[in-house]
Amino acid sequence: MGTDLIRLTAAEMAAVIASGETSAVEVTRAHLDRIAAVDARVHAFLQVDTEGALAAARSVDERRAAGELLGPLAGVPIAVKDVFTTKGLPTTCGSRILEGWRPPYDATVVRRLRDAGMVILGKTNMDEFAMGSSTENSAYGPTRNPWNLDRIPGGSSGGSSAAVASYQAPLGIGTDTGGSIRQPAAVCGIVGGKPTYGGVSRYGLVAFASSLDQAGPFARTVLDAALLHAAIAGHDPADTTSIDAPVPSVVEAARGADVAGLRVGVVKELGGEGYQPGVLRRFAEAIELLDSLGAKVTEVSCPHFGYALPAYYLIAPSECSSNLARFDAMRYGLRTGDDGTSSAEEVMAVTRAAGFGAEVKRRIMLGTYALSSGYYDAYYGSAQKVRTLISRDFQAAFEQVDVLVSPTTPTTAFPIGERVDDPMAMYLADLCTIPSNLAGNAALSLPCGLAPEDNLPVGLQVMAPVLGDDRPYRVAAALEAGYADRWGHPLLEEAPAL
């Protein structure tokens, strides 16, 4: 029974709980058992909140028994990236500098999950302060890809993607600053959505690069991702960048699953040389499938996308160098070097040297340099101009087509250890995802099969205009159904034998 329960989709879990066929407590127990059975190998979780999860599940069962009408995901368990504050529950951001910190409040996303009656199983591993593409930059050791334990699960939200792919949770929350939801979703064979910037509140999301950070859903099906998106999205007065507009109808789009007549643009600049042959092959098949489902596919050029990566690696470190100044040994977490005689500056320096890892220090130095008075215009200023050009590329493209598509990542999951000492190689993992962060538009990754050379998942990225979040769900749902029809099974039935 437990094994059957964890294999259900989130929508199915909610339905069997709502019908009384099973209880939220039973569903939660099945997932806690799965975590106990496999997470020593995967290391998706930094913290499992057994008691909190069971209490939340019990409350759903009691409220249901009392006749209360509950939301569409009530009783469904979820894994939350450790970058969101959770009241009373440790929040580390994958860093030593926050070890042991228990926030006094819940992030808006966390509050909305609780209000929806969802069961937070625990906090998931991540690259330190969300900087990375492999989860190897976590101070607490890497997470492993459930499809092949010697491979990376993507990053920075690799704990959440691995938890969902290994059936430790049906749903997960990640954040995407340059690709950290879409890239781990792609390499773990699941669905991951980056909402329009401002679509989901950043209140209580520990900031990396504030103009780029965006929270979003992980799930094994498109509908599940849409249900979660709808549960967390919407205006929040506590976040000044939150958009005060109706949430796009993502759930209806996922149920609609129709692409007849839809104009799909293949981004010329994202593909070809440097991409793994199996990735290109699965991408080409997805395009054929879209065509056979009635979409009108054309090629579209976005000439400035080639400058997105260098612009991002000036803008994101610049913002991080400012945001991470708050870790000063006075307010949160770690404090070392205070022998009673040292100055505040000395304590700060010693604490930051001990508390931050190599990648975080690299970014703080890069950002401080790019923002320094003599170099500001040459580096940060130029990068901001490139950012505008990329937004204009998107605007021009969306005058011709409804959505843009590309592979999500140039390669499948690479081996653990392969890129950790080669930052440039690591940065390339986000080549296709970064443009959407710079422009703030909506994008999503969905599984489109396994690469023949290594049997590892390949992701297809669907991008849409700002506030056009429903479109990627419509396209992804149509493809998901198309794959199921063609091959007679949902992609994930082949998933990891753990």
Catalytic residue numbers read 81, 156, 180
Residues within window 194-223 making contact with ligand GLN, judged by CB under 6 A? 208
Vertex 281 angle, CA 263 and 288, to 5°: 35
| Residue 178 within binding range of ligand GLN, rule CB under 6 A | yes
- Closer CB to ligand GLN, 306 or 423, in the complex: 423
| Residue 445 within binding range of ligand GLN, rule CB under 6 A | no
CB-based contacts of 228: which residues, under 8 Å, 6+ apart? 10, 73, 78, 171, 173, 217, 218, 219
- Closer CB to ligand GLN, 179 or 265, in the complex: 179
How many CB atoms within 10 Å of residue 277?
Answer: 10
Residues within window 406-425 making contact with ligand GLN, judged by CB under 6 A? none
458: left (phi over 0), alpha (psi -120 to 50) or beta: beta
Among residues 151, 451, 409, 148, which one has the least CA distance to residue 277? 451
Stretch that binds ligand GLN, among 31-39, 71-79, 170-178, 373-381 (CB under 6 A): 170-178
Q: Are strands 296-300 and 263-267 parallel, antiparallel or unpaired?
A: parallel
Binding residue for ligand GLN (CB under 6 A) from 131, 164, 405, 416? 131
| Residue 108 within binding range of ligand GLN, rule CB under 6 A | no
- Closer CB to ligand GLN, 106 or 430, in the complex: 430
| Alpha carbon distances (Å) from 368 to 349, 372, 373 | 15, 6, 10
| Residue 180 within binding range of ligand GLN, rule CB under 6 A | yes
- Closer CB to ligand GLN, 167 or 305, in the complex: 305
| CA atoms lying within 13 Å on the CB side of residue 138 | 30
Stretch that binds ligand GLN, among 3-11, 103-111, 129-137, 454-462 (CB under 6 A): 129-137
Stretch that binds ligand GLN, among 16-24, 110-118, 174-182, 473-481 (CB under 6 A): 174-182
Q: Which residue has the tokens 């010329």?
A: 268
- Closer CB to ligand GLN, 47 or 433, in the complex: 433
SS3 of the chain: helix, strand, coil, percent, to 5? 45, 15, 40
**What would the two tokens of residue 203 be?**
């209140």
Binding residue for ligand GLN (CB under 6 A) from 82, 176, 319, 402? 176
Q: Which residue has the tokens 């009384």?
A: 20
Largest CA distance in the chain: 73
- Closer CB to ligand GLN, 207 or 316, in the complex: 316
| Residue 316 within binding range of ligand GLN, rule CB under 6 A | yes
- Find out whether the peptide bond into 156 is cis, omega within 30 degrees of 0: yes
Binding residue for ligand GLN (CB under 6 A) from 236, 430, 469, 470? 430
Q: How far is the CB of 122 from ligand GLN (least distance, A)?
A: 20
Stretch that binds ligand GLN, among 126-134, 216-224, 263-271, 453-461 (CB under 6 A): 126-134
User: Which residues of this chain interact with ligand GLN, rule CB under 6 A?
Assistant: 130-133, 156, 176-180, 208, 316, 430
